[in-house]
Amino acid sequence: MRIILRLILLGLIFCFLKPSLALENFSALRVDKSSQIFLPSTLRESVLIQNHFSVFWWNFILVEANPWQEVVTLCEGLKSISSELGNSEGVAQVECQPRPEDYKSILGAWAMDLPLRKEMPKSIHGDLQKTKALLSLAGHEMSELLLNDPLQTWHQLRDLFQMERRISLSKKDGIYLAGDKALLPIKMSFPPDNTNRTMKLISSLPQNIQLLGPHKSYLENENVVMSDVKKVGLASTLSFLGLTLFFAFSRRIHLTALIVPILFSVLVSSYVVQWIYGSIHGLTLAFGSGIIGLALDYGLHGALGSESKHTWTSNALGFLTTAVGLIVLSFSEIPLLRQMSLFGLMGLSLGFLLMYFLLSKFTRFFRVEPLNVPPRIPFGLSLTLVCVIAGVCGLSFSEPNLSMKRLSFESSNTLGKLFLNQAPLLRFHYSLELDESVRELQWARENQVAVENLAVYLPPLREQERNIATWKDCHRGFSSPQDRKLFGNHVLSLCLAKPRSRSPYVEHLISSLGPGDSHLSLFWPKDSIEDNMIREKFKDARSLQDITSVVPKTLKAELGWMFPLSLILVALTLGYFERRFLPVCLALLPFFTGLGLVFIFNWGLGREFSFITLVGLVMMFGFSIDYGIFMNDVYRGEENFKKVVSALVFAALTNLAGFAPLLTAEHPVLKDLGVALFFGTLGSFIGAVGGIPAIAARFQRLGYGAK
Amino acid sequence: MLLVTAGWAFAGEAGIKALSEQSKALSEQNIEKIFATSKADFKAEFVQIKTLASLNEKIKSSGRTSRSGDRLVWEVKHPSFLKVTMTSQEIVIDTGESKPEVFKLSDSSTFKGPMLGLSSLLLWLNPKAKEISEKFQIYQRGERSFTAKPLMESSLGLIEFTTDKGRRIQNFVFKEKSGDEIEITFKYKSGQ
């Protein structure tokens, strides 16, 4: 009967293990792969910029300049599939060997909007004669341009659109050169977060090209997240197989059954998170392996201490302190961390309840004999002291790198250095009112600063109306039927112009995807002096780098209260149950040893101490205190040393098995979490099993442990 | 209108095909002979007729032109003043009012492409046999009438020209693939 039950359990484990560790393949589960979830609400603007303003949809193709004919063919090929209105290929514009027909609709709209910008010139009919003279010797393309724009307004638009002022590169045959490579600016007709379309476009391009820019960065980030999820999933499977083998060889195979409720909890939590957020992020899903390790501690402690009534009280206290860490984490401004916290809290709570239910109902089945552990860890106290000193020093002197770049995988940061003289400065205007844009333009002209905003292209509506009024009778006075035939229709349209605040040539600066229409002003400083000048005049002018650097400051402030609050809340919770100072300090000891070991390994491996490392430590704060609580029970005479240490060995092993896969990840978020949680577990174990017995033994002489 | 355009293009292609079948392209030496006396500087008056295929309209203009070494000045007097100065480096368009517009030929920037039709005029009015033979195949149609077919893919379909007794270009017709056409007739000043 016992054998049959074990076989059923192993079957169940297998059934749950497979789908849970490959959750991203679960058809009902919508896995989010974007990097937007890293960004706190203070950074929404930057997401909005990249996805909603098409001025940021430019990418750059780098291709070997030799043989040149291949570059020309690539340029022609891209032009043949480009469409300003968007098409299935997704190429809106390509900046190489420019021709008027590439800008047909924009040039057409610009020419038709002349009455919005200027009063009717008195010499309009003389100007048309000049155009006729030019038309007489122009080629077909030029003729088409002149017939659609007989007052030759395209000169001004060309000057406004010239990318030369932004790209400091030489040209050959109308194609930019960057060293021995040709550079082809390519504008997509879809936002960077549409990675499926980016992938499709890249697959249609030749193999030897290199794409740089926002679209490629999004795709790269997503690919790394998904490859990490797969890698972590595989490593988790191997870790749990190893753990199962360990249980099998130590004749405790039935303990693997404890994985079933944990996997069930992960599965349920995944669906609940999806129900709340609409999807679950790949990183949250990968984080499931860590949650499994956390919740299993209570089951293992319960199985080893099944004879003691106090075991589940300690488990409950441990759960409470871990939950405190996760609840504090849920106040983070980073949506990903909030989602992870919710996921962890739900998984942990459900796991805890299921464990309690299982171990209460099947007490005899799960009962295990403790390991034959030695009464003391050699050098336990010395190791503990080294770790504590390292932890305190690290907390005092280590300066974490809280840059947002650590939250995102990006291999193409060289783009800016490639050709931009100075990063542009941005200003947002949350309406289509032009008054502020006009002020910007006026100031920029007075100070000879390059600016691109709506006022550059369109005057305010009042001025437009004044200008249009002067064009009322513009169609009169044609001297010949030929002039009427050549230019009549166009001029008549000019007479009928109407004021407007949007036009194809300003669409790249306008977003209507947000709550309302908003527009963007772009200043292009030549150097740092001009950059400072713009910032002084317009206090809210910021570069994209400025926007992302707001986050580290916010996060630093966040940590300033997150860590002390967690410490105070946990100390209060422990104090409430323990009623004495020393057990509270001892329960906190494993956290400080864990912290110390993380610092030691970070210094040793030359790794930076990132925001994510700190977040990992907040989580470690929860489970390391569990270890302290369990060990405290021994010195209160409520638990057996061997049983508690055995439970901690199993718990630490499951944690290590859960967190080790994260060390294999390439994404900085997962890697930093892996380092913090793996070495944090190890350090916590040293503090709990090596430090607490040694310190408690000294205090026992002073009466500690006696109730 | 599309039919008209297509018809023009078809006629051009068919003409070239017939030419290729009937006669051989002239060698560089023969091209040199055609333009032997055209190398001297000159001054001339011209009448130019531009045909816009899409509107089925002809625009007539007239003016004077002069060449001095590598520099060609094309001055339109009617219907309005327009002066185009061409060298192998640049094209300068002066309408007589605002600042003249300069198109650098060495660095093709935005929208310079359409002006290239003008620069090819320089090639024919300051002819260099080697350069012409690298860019065109020339067929002799009559005693003093010729057809030039571009060797590289371009919007230009073909060029037809005739020379006078002094072997100077007298009549010049640019036929574009679109069906647009520019016909220029030169009247050289006496003694040139």
Give tens-digit pLDDT for A514-552: 567 888 898 988 888 999 999 999 998 888 777 766 666
With CA atoms as reference, the chain B residue closest to A158 would be B110
- How far does the CA of residue A420 sit from the closest CA of chain B (Å)? 19
* Strand extents, DSSP E, A194-249: 210-212
Interface contact flag, A99 B74, Cβ < 8 Å = no
Q: Which residues contact A565 (CB under 8 A, 6 or more apart)?
A: A328
> A579 is written with which tokens?
């009623």
Confidence band, pLDDT 50/70/90 cuts, at residue A591:
very high
Chain A and chain B share a number of CB contacts under 8 A equal to 111
Judged by average pLDDT, the poorest of A226-240, A494-508, A557-571 is A226-240
pLDDT value for A33: 62
pLDDT category of residue A682 using cuts at 50, 70 and 90: very high
Residue B114 to residue A486, Cβ atoms within 8 A = no
**Residue B16: its pLDDT value, please?**
45
* CB nearest to A171's CB, from B48, B84, B108: B108
Dist CA A63 CA A94 (whole Å): 14
**Res A11 pLDDT > 60:** no
The predicted model scores a pTM of 0.65
For the segment A371-400, the average pLDDT, to the nearest whole number, is: 82
Q: CA–CA separation, A354 vs A366, rounded Å?
A: 14
CB < 8 Å to B52, chain A: 135, 143, 147, 486
Q: Residue A61's closest CA among A46, A47, A73?
A: A73
Tokens of A593: 């040893």
pLDDT value at A44 more than 70: no
Whether the predicted pLDDT of A657 surpasses 50: yes
User: Which residues of chain A are within 8 Å of residue B109 when distances are taken between CB atoms?
Assistant: 98, 162, 164, 171, 174
Element (H, E) at A502: none
DSSP for A632-678? HHHHTTSS-HHHHHHHHHHHHHHHHHHHHHHHT--SHHHHHHHHHHH
State whether B82 and A126 contact (CB < 8 Å).
no
The C-alpha atoms of residue A92 and residue A76 are separated, in whole angstroms, by 14
Residue A634: the pLDDT is 82
CA distances from A556 to A341, A390, A616 (A): 19, 21, 15
Report the alpha-carbon distance of residue A613 to residue A624 in Å, rounded: 15
CA distances from B139 to A166, A274, B28, B120, B166 (A): 48, 75, 12, 18, 19
Predicted confidence at residue A438, as pLDDT, reads: 92
A200: left (phi over 0), alpha (psi -120 to 50) or beta: alpha
Q: Given CB atoms, is A484 within the 8 Å cutoff of chain B?
A: no
Q: What is the pLDDT of residue A221?
A: 75
For range A177-203, the mean pLDDT: 87
The answer to whether A26 and A19 are in contact (CB under 8 A) is: yes
pLDDT-derived band at A695 (thresholds 50, 70, 90) equals confident
Ranges assigned E (strand) in A475-623: 510-511, 518-524
Cα–Cα nearest to A594, from A397, A390, A399: A390
Strand partners, B72: B67, B86
3-state secondary structure chain B: CHHHHHHHHHHHHHHHHHHHHHCCCCCHHHHHHHCCCCCCCEEEEEEEEEEECCCCEEEEEEEEEEEECCEEEEEEEECCCEEEEECCCEEEEECCCCCCEEEECCCCCCCCHHHHHHHHHHHHHCCCHHHHHHHEEEEECCCCEEEEEECCCCCEEEEEEEECCCCCEEEEEEEECCCCEEEEEEEECCCC
The answer to whether A142 contacts B107, with C-beta atoms less than 8 Å apart, is no
In which element (H, E) is residue A73 found? helix A68-81
SS3 at position A403: coil
Q: What is the mean pLDDT of residues A431-448?
A: 90
Judged by CB atoms closer than 8 Å, whether chains meet at A130 and B81 is answered as: yes
- What integer pLDDT is reported at residue A21 of this predicted model? 45
Task: Tell me the pLDDT of chain A averaged across its residues.
Answer: 79
Residue bearing the bigger pLDDT, A308 or B65: B65
Nearest CB neighbour to B48, from listed A136, A147, A170: A136
In this prediction, residues A303-332 reach a mean pLDDT of 84
Is the omega angle on the peptide bond into residue A185 within 30 degrees of 0, that is, cis? no
Write out chain A residues lying below 8 Å of B116, CB-based. Answer: 139
Mean pLDDT of A688-707: 73
pLDDT at A111 over 90: yes
Q: Flag whether pLDDT at A577 surpasses 50.
A: yes
Look up residue A272 and give its two tokens: 């609940």
Tell me the DSSP string of A405-469.
Answer: GGGS--S-THHHHHHBSS--EEEEESSS--HHHHHHHHHHHHTT-EEESHHHH---HHHHHHHHH
Chain A residues inside the 8 Å CB shell of B54: 144, 147
CA distance B44 to chain A (A): 17
9-28 in B: which are within 8 Å (CB) of A? none
Highest mean pLDDT among A173-182, A322-331, A344-353: A344-353
Distance from CA of A69 to the nearest CA of B (A): 13
Give the residue, A1 or B51, on which the prediction is more confident: B51
For CA atoms A387, A389, A393, A396, the dihedral sign is positive
Q: How far apart are the first and last CA of chain B?
A: 43
Which percentage of chain A shows pLDDT scores above 70?
A: 81
Q: What share of chain A is helix, strand, coil (3-state, %, to 5)?
A: 65, 10, 25
A665: pLDDT strictly greater than 70 = yes
Instruction: Please report the pLDDT score of residue B32 as a whole number.
Output: 82
Predicted ipTM beyond 0.85? no
Higher pLDDT, A87 or B20: A87
Q: Which residues of B touch A139 (CB under 8 A)?
A: 114-117, 155-156, 176, 180
CA distances from A107 to A76, A125, A150, A289, A452 (A): 21, 21, 12, 57, 17
pLDDT at A464: 94
pLDDT at A686: 92
Q: Give CA angle at A78 (A76, A80), nearest 5°.
A: 70
Intervals of chain B under pLDDT 50: 1-21, 108-114, 116
Q: In this predicted model, which residue has the larger pLDDT, A205 or A662? A: A205
User: For position A24, what pLDDT does the model report?
Assistant: 47
Q: Which residues of B touch A135 (CB under 8 A)?
A: 50, 52, 59
8 Å CB contact between A452 and A505: no
- A122 and B CB contact within 8 Å: no
What are the structure tokens assigned to A595, written together? 């912290």
* Confidence bin at A45 (pLDDT 50/70/90): low
What band does A255 get if pLDDT is binned at 50, 70 and 90? confident
Q: For residues A685 and A440, what is the distance between their CA atoms, to the nearest angstrom?
A: 61
Q: What is the mean pLDDT of residues A83-102?
A: 75
Q: Do B59 and A486 touch (CB under 8 A)?
A: yes
Mean pLDDT for A311-324 is 87
pLDDT on residue A277 = 86
pLDDT band for position A278 (50/70/90)? confident
Of A242 and B13, the structure prediction assigns the larger pLDDT to: A242
pLDDT class for A19, splitting at 50, 70, 90? very low
Cis previous bond, A67, omega within 30: yes
Mean pLDDT, range A375-382, rounded to an integer: 78
